[in-house]
Amino acid sequence: MVKQRYSMKVIFTTALMMFVHINIHKAQNIKYARRVVDTLSSSGMHGRGYVLEGAKIAAGYIGVEFQKFGLKTFDGGYFQSFDIETNRFPGQVLLKINKVLMRPGVDYLIEAGSGGGTVHYKTLTLPRVIAEDDRKMQDFLEANRNNVFVINLDSISEERFQYFIKTIRLTENYPMGVIKIQKKKLTWDVAQTALPFPIFEVMDSVLTLPIKEVEFEIENTGVARTESSNVCGFVKGTRYPDSMVVFTAHYDHLGMMGKDTYFPGANDNASGVAMLLNLVQYYSDLRHRPDYTMVFLAFAGEEVGLLGSKYFTENPLFPLKKIRFLVNMDLLGTGEDGLMAVNGVEFPKEYNILDSINNEKHYLVRLQKRPKAANSDQYFFTEAGVKCFFIYTLGGIAAYHDVFDRPETLPLTKFEDIFRLLTEFVGKL
Ligand SMILES: [Zn+2]
């Protein structure tokens, strides 16, 4: 009796410990992911761009996390540095239309490739008949240099609008500014060029038309240069140390539009970095020593035009042909409608592995595949002949490249399921 009770107790304790262990591990995953997303999306990271060294601060944070988990370095350090040039708005950003103060990021954006300026002026609406006639457009520009033009996309197509801006550039008949009225959601960007005047994209819904008067003050640096860094580390494989499985995620985002407005980039791509760091945590744990050498790469400059991954493929820290497979992760914060694998069409063998795991375990409602695309950091690896996927979640929130991509509204719906899918995928390579 005693003996049996004793062994029952042992069994129970062991089971309890296993249960506790599993739950701690699970809880740690999502809790740690939340902490990473919150940290990277916080105001102290300044939108991880080029105002107030946001991207640099983010890189430093990722480097510290790599070090905490004891990742090895390729070249004596985690950082691979290079220069990035971008157009910036670090200071005053003010826009009043018909004497009403507009809210930056919510009511309007300054187009990324804009310049600055200060003006208090009457406006001039571009008539449709002029917008649609090349000759009339040129005459109009010549005659009305010192004006703020108002262009309503209700009556002038986006294509003609772009042509109008192009004509301004080519003829160098620069106006004081341009107000573009649109119904379409505001979506910001990073530019590497700067016009000598600002273009405002204003939400139709916040305006009382017609626009008669406009006042703005925009501080702009023009194109400036900053040193930026890819962050790179690895865990050595036990069975195939010379063959690599690589996980990548860009950590940069759009930064700030003026001194008070930052773009948090919770989904894009604090979520992907959170997955990257969870994988770092997992594979650096002695209980999960990997067969392949696991490489972790957090890229700079993705939003500027895939600059970090381009630099890395041109200056690799190890021969790219050693890569068994690479998974780029960008936008992993939702998943209600499944998961997309860009390059799933190019690499059917690996896609079938991913798909069969999902069919067996039902982690996501569905997996989808796409052919190759220049839409994130896997692109230059694909072009260099590296087998890879780019995965992103489908469904959920619509915030994208705007001030609403915030940590508190990011659901991380399928985060843990994707984590399991990825680690099982690596196990079957
Ligand atoms: Zn992104």
- Ligand 1 ion: residues within 5 Å (CB): 268-269, 330
359 and 241 together in one domain = yes
Q: Is residue 10 part of a domain?
A: no
38 and 120 together in one domain = no
How remote is the CA of residue 250 from the centroid of ligand 1, in Å?
Answer: 7
How remote is the CA of residue 150 from the centroid of ligand 1, in Å?
Answer: 32
182 and 205 together in one domain = yes
So what's the pLDDT on residue 199?
97
How remote is the CA of residue 154 from the centroid of ligand 1, in Å?
Answer: 30
How remote is the CA of residue 174 from the centroid of ligand 1, in Å?
Answer: 33
**Among 220, 252, 284, residue at a domain's last position:** 220
Output DSSP code: residue 270: I
How remote is the CA of residue 217 from the centroid of ligand 1, in Å?
Answer: 30
Residues 384-420 have pLDDT tens digits of 999 999 999 999 999 999 999 999 999 999 999 999 9
How remote is the CA of residue 378 from the centroid of ligand 1, in Å?
Answer: 12
Q: What CATH number is given to the structural domain containing 230?
A: 3.40.630.10
CB atoms within 10 A of CB 400: 14
Of the candidates 333, 340, 351, the one whose C-alpha atom is nearest the C-alpha of residue 388 is 351
How remote is the CA of residue 77 from the centroid of ligand 1, in Å?
Answer: 25
- Name the stretches of the chain with pLDDT < 70: 1-28
| pTM, rounded to two decimals | 0.91
Q: Is residue 2 part of a domain?
A: no
Residues 127-155 have pLDDT tens digits of 898 999 999 999 999 889 889 999 999 99
Of the candidates 50, 77, 46, 47, the one whose C-alpha atom is nearest the C-alpha of residue 64 is 77
How remote is the CA of residue 84 from the centroid of ligand 1, in Å?
Answer: 17
Cα distance between residue 247 and residue 233, in whole Å: 10
CB atoms within 10 A of CB 15: 10
How remote is the CA of residue 156 from the centroid of ligand 1, in Å?
Answer: 31
198 and 106 together in one domain = yes
How remote is the CA of residue 392 from the centroid of ligand 1, in Å?
Answer: 10
How remote is the CA of residue 369 from the centroid of ligand 1, in Å?
Answer: 18
How remote is the CA of residue 339 from the centroid of ligand 1, in Å?
Answer: 15
328 and 262 together in one domain = yes
Q: Is residue 12 part of a domain?
A: no
Q: Is residue 26 part of a domain?
A: no
60 and 97 together in one domain = no
So what's the pLDDT on residue 120?
85
139 and 114 together in one domain = yes
Q: Is residue 357 part of a domain?
A: yes
How remote is the CA of residue 252 from the centroid of ligand 1, in Å?
Answer: 8
How remote is the CA of residue 76 from the centroid of ligand 1, in Å?
Answer: 28
Residues sharing a CB contact under 8 Å with residue 317, sequence separation 6 or more, in sequence order? 74, 75, 80, 232
How remote is the CA of residue 81 from the centroid of ligand 1, in Å?
Answer: 20
Produce one character per residue of 299-310: b if its CB has 16 or more CB atoms within 10 Å, e if not.
Answer: bbbbbbebbbbb
**Among 192, 220, 248, residue at a domain's last position:** 220
**Among 220, 239, 267, residue at a domain's last position:** 220
112 and 240 together in one domain = no
Q: Is residue 67 part of a domain?
A: yes
So what's the pLDDT on residue 28?
56
328 and 249 together in one domain = yes
Q: What CATH number is given to the structural domain containing 155?
A: 3.50.30.30
Of the candidates 390, 253, 379, 307, the one whose C-alpha atom is nearest the C-alpha of residue 80 is 307
How remote is the CA of residue 26 from the centroid of ligand 1, in Å?
Answer: 26
How remote is the CA of residue 184 from the centroid of ligand 1, in Å?
Answer: 20
230 and 353 together in one domain = yes
276 and 355 together in one domain = yes
How remote is the CA of residue 415 from the centroid of ligand 1, in Å?
Answer: 16
How remote is the CA of residue 95 from the centroid of ligand 1, in Å?
Answer: 28
User: Domains in the chain: how many in total?
Assistant: 2
Q: Is residue 18 part of a domain?
A: no
How remote is the CA of residue 302 from the centroid of ligand 1, in Å?
Answer: 7
Element containing residue 341 per DSSP (H, E): strand 338-342
Q: Is residue 22 part of a domain?
A: no
Give residue 62's domain range. Answer: 31-87+224-427
How remote is the CA of residue 177 from the centroid of ligand 1, in Å?
Answer: 30
Q: How many CA atoms lie within 13 A of 322 on its CB side?
A: 16
Q: How many CA atoms lie within 13 A of 193 on its CB side?
A: 2
So what's the pLDDT on residue 13?
44
243 and 344 together in one domain = yes
How remote is the CA of residue 275 from the centroid of ligand 1, in Å?
Answer: 14
Kindly give the pairing relationship between strand 240-250 and strand 323-329: parallel
How remote is the CA of residue 276 from the centroid of ligand 1, in Å?
Answer: 14
Q: Do 319 and 82 meet the contact criterion of CB atoms below 8 Å apart?
A: no
